[in-house]
Amino acid sequence: MAVRNILTKEDPTLYKKSRPVTQFNARLHQLLDDMRETLSREAGVGLAAPQVGVLRRAVIVIETNVPEGEEEYMIELVNPEIIERDGEQRGAEGCLSVPGEYGVVTRPEHVRVRAQDRDGNWFEVEGEGLTARCFCHEIDHLEGIVFTSLCERMLTQEELESGEF
Protein backbone atom coordinates (compact mmCIF):
# COMPACT_ATOMS: atom_id res chain seq x y z
CA MET A 1 0.00 0.00 0.00
CA ALA A 2 1.06 3.55 -0.55
CA VAL A 3 -0.11 6.98 0.44
CA ARG A 4 -1.15 8.94 -2.64
CA ASN A 5 -1.12 12.70 -3.09
CA ILE A 6 -4.47 14.40 -2.67
CA LEU A 7 -5.26 16.92 -5.39
CA THR A 8 -6.39 20.34 -4.24
CA LYS A 9 -9.16 22.53 -5.61
CA GLU A 10 -7.00 24.25 -8.23
CA ASP A 11 -6.57 20.94 -10.10
CA PRO A 12 -8.91 20.64 -13.12
CA THR A 13 -9.15 16.84 -12.60
CA LEU A 14 -11.48 17.46 -9.65
CA TYR A 15 -14.08 19.03 -11.96
CA LYS A 16 -14.21 16.14 -14.43
CA LYS A 17 -16.72 13.32 -14.46
CA SER A 18 -15.34 9.89 -13.52
CA ARG A 19 -15.88 6.78 -15.64
CA PRO A 20 -17.43 3.57 -14.32
CA VAL A 21 -15.14 0.83 -13.04
CA THR A 22 -15.41 -2.15 -15.38
CA GLN A 23 -12.44 -4.27 -14.30
CA PHE A 24 -12.42 -5.63 -10.76
CA ASN A 25 -8.78 -6.54 -10.90
CA ALA A 26 -5.54 -6.14 -8.96
CA ARG A 27 -5.20 -2.57 -10.19
CA LEU A 28 -8.54 -1.61 -8.63
CA HIS A 29 -7.59 -3.39 -5.41
CA GLN A 30 -4.31 -1.47 -5.33
CA LEU A 31 -6.18 1.80 -5.84
CA LEU A 32 -8.62 1.03 -3.01
CA ASP A 33 -5.82 -0.13 -0.69
CA ASP A 34 -3.90 3.08 -1.40
CA MET A 35 -7.03 5.18 -0.85
CA ARG A 36 -7.55 3.44 2.51
CA GLU A 37 -3.99 4.16 3.54
CA THR A 38 -4.21 7.76 2.32
CA LEU A 39 -7.48 8.37 4.18
CA SER A 40 -6.19 6.78 7.36
CA ARG A 41 -3.40 9.37 7.43
CA GLU A 42 -5.83 12.27 7.10
CA ALA A 43 -8.47 13.73 9.38
CA GLY A 44 -11.18 13.09 6.80
CA VAL A 45 -14.21 10.82 6.73
CA GLY A 46 -14.16 10.01 3.04
CA LEU A 47 -12.10 10.00 -0.13
CA ALA A 48 -12.99 9.69 -3.81
CA ALA A 49 -10.69 8.28 -6.53
CA PRO A 50 -10.58 11.58 -8.49
CA GLN A 51 -9.05 13.19 -5.40
CA VAL A 52 -6.00 11.00 -5.94
CA GLY A 53 -6.05 11.74 -9.68
CA VAL A 54 -7.92 8.64 -10.87
CA LEU A 55 -11.13 9.41 -12.79
CA ARG A 56 -12.90 6.17 -11.87
CA ARG A 57 -16.10 5.72 -9.89
CA ALA A 58 -14.72 4.50 -6.56
CA VAL A 59 -15.00 6.06 -3.11
CA ILE A 60 -14.27 5.23 0.51
CA VAL A 61 -16.45 6.42 3.37
CA ILE A 62 -15.75 5.96 7.07
CA GLU A 63 -18.81 4.74 8.96
CA THR A 64 -18.63 6.78 12.16
CA ASN A 65 -22.06 5.77 13.55
CA VAL A 66 -20.86 2.71 15.42
CA PRO A 67 -21.97 1.47 18.85
CA GLU A 68 -19.80 2.59 21.75
CA GLY A 69 -16.71 0.46 22.09
CA GLU A 70 -16.74 -0.62 18.46
CA GLU A 71 -14.26 0.56 15.85
CA GLU A 72 -15.20 2.87 13.00
CA TYR A 73 -14.69 1.16 9.67
CA MET A 74 -14.22 2.04 6.01
CA ILE A 75 -16.82 1.21 3.38
CA GLU A 76 -15.58 0.79 -0.20
CA LEU A 77 -18.10 1.78 -2.85
CA VAL A 78 -17.48 1.07 -6.51
CA ASN A 79 -19.89 2.54 -9.08
CA PRO A 80 -22.08 3.91 -6.26
CA GLU A 81 -25.53 5.34 -6.83
CA ILE A 82 -27.88 6.98 -4.33
CA ILE A 83 -31.20 5.19 -4.64
CA GLU A 84 -33.10 6.77 -1.71
CA ARG A 85 -32.89 10.12 0.04
CA ASP A 86 -34.94 11.17 3.08
CA GLY A 87 -35.03 14.14 5.41
CA GLU A 88 -32.70 17.09 5.49
CA GLN A 89 -29.65 18.22 7.46
CA ARG A 90 -27.96 21.60 7.30
CA GLY A 91 -24.40 21.61 8.53
CA ALA A 92 -20.72 22.40 8.09
CA GLU A 93 -18.84 20.50 5.45
CA GLY A 94 -15.19 20.33 4.45
CA CYS A 95 -13.02 18.38 2.01
CA LEU A 96 -9.46 17.04 2.00
CA SER A 97 -9.06 18.76 -1.40
CA VAL A 98 -10.08 22.12 0.08
CA PRO A 99 -7.94 22.18 3.23
CA GLY A 100 -8.93 24.59 5.97
CA GLU A 101 -12.17 25.75 4.35
CA TYR A 102 -15.64 24.87 5.54
CA GLY A 103 -19.07 25.83 4.31
CA VAL A 104 -22.74 25.26 5.01
CA VAL A 105 -24.30 22.55 2.87
CA THR A 106 -27.79 21.05 3.14
CA ARG A 107 -27.89 17.30 2.54
CA PRO A 108 -30.40 14.48 3.08
CA GLU A 109 -30.45 13.09 6.63
CA HIS A 110 -30.63 9.53 5.37
CA VAL A 111 -29.57 7.89 2.13
CA ARG A 112 -29.51 4.40 0.72
CA VAL A 113 -26.70 3.64 -1.73
CA ARG A 114 -26.33 0.80 -4.20
CA ALA A 115 -22.74 -0.04 -5.13
CA GLN A 116 -20.34 -2.80 -6.03
CA ASP A 117 -17.58 -4.10 -3.78
CA ARG A 118 -13.99 -4.53 -4.96
CA ASP A 119 -14.89 -7.89 -6.52
CA GLY A 120 -17.90 -6.58 -8.41
CA ASN A 121 -20.64 -7.87 -6.08
CA TRP A 122 -23.60 -5.51 -5.77
CA PHE A 123 -24.79 -4.49 -2.30
CA GLU A 124 -26.83 -1.78 -0.62
CA VAL A 125 -25.81 0.31 2.37
CA GLU A 126 -27.60 3.00 4.37
CA GLY A 127 -26.16 6.12 5.93
CA GLU A 128 -27.51 8.49 8.58
CA GLY A 129 -26.29 11.91 9.61
CA LEU A 130 -22.58 12.42 8.94
CA THR A 131 -22.37 9.16 7.02
CA ALA A 132 -25.23 10.24 4.73
CA ARG A 133 -23.50 13.59 4.21
CA CYS A 134 -20.27 11.79 3.40
CA PHE A 135 -21.89 9.43 0.87
CA CYS A 136 -23.39 12.45 -0.93
CA HIS A 137 -20.13 14.43 -0.83
CA GLU A 138 -17.96 11.58 -2.15
CA ILE A 139 -20.42 10.57 -4.87
CA ASP A 140 -20.56 14.23 -5.96
CA HIS A 141 -16.78 14.03 -6.54
CA LEU A 142 -17.46 11.36 -9.17
CA GLU A 143 -19.57 13.90 -11.05
CA GLY A 144 -16.83 16.52 -10.82
CA ILE A 145 -18.71 18.43 -8.11
CA VAL A 146 -16.69 19.97 -5.29
CA PHE A 147 -18.73 20.93 -2.19
CA THR A 148 -17.79 24.62 -2.42
CA SER A 149 -20.14 24.93 -5.41
CA LEU A 150 -23.04 23.73 -3.21
CA CYS A 151 -22.34 25.93 -0.20
CA GLU A 152 -24.90 28.34 1.06
CA ARG A 153 -21.84 30.25 2.29
CA MET A 154 -18.36 29.62 3.62
CA LEU A 155 -17.72 29.72 7.37
CA THR A 156 -15.19 31.63 9.40
CA GLN A 157 -13.10 29.73 11.93
CA GLU A 158 -15.12 31.32 14.77
CA GLU A 159 -18.43 30.21 13.27
CA LEU A 160 -17.10 26.72 12.70
CA GLU A 161 -15.87 26.40 16.27
CA SER A 162 -19.00 27.88 17.85
CA GLY A 163 -21.32 25.83 15.66
CA GLU A 164 -23.46 28.96 15.22
CA PHE A 165 -24.26 29.62 11.59
Active site residue 138: yes
59 part of the interface to Zn ion, by CB under 5 A: no
Q: Cα separation of 113 and 82, whole Å?
A: 4
Residues in contact with Zn ion, counted by CB under 5 A, come to a total of 1
Question: Which residues between 78 and 97 bind Zn ion (CB under 5 A)?
Answer: 95
47 part of the interface to Zn ion, by CB under 5 A: no
Q: Cα separation of 96 and 5, whole Å?
A: 11
DSSP state of 6: P
The CB-of-64 to Zn ion minimum distance in angstroms stands at 16
The CB-of-14 to Zn ion minimum distance in angstroms stands at 9
- Select the residue whose beta carbon is closest to Zn ion and give its number: 95
Residue 44: count of CB within 10 angstroms of its CB: 22
5 φψ region: left (φ > 0), alpha (ψ -120 to 50), beta (else): beta
Residues that bind Zn ion (CB under 5 A): 95
Return the active site residues.
Answer: 138
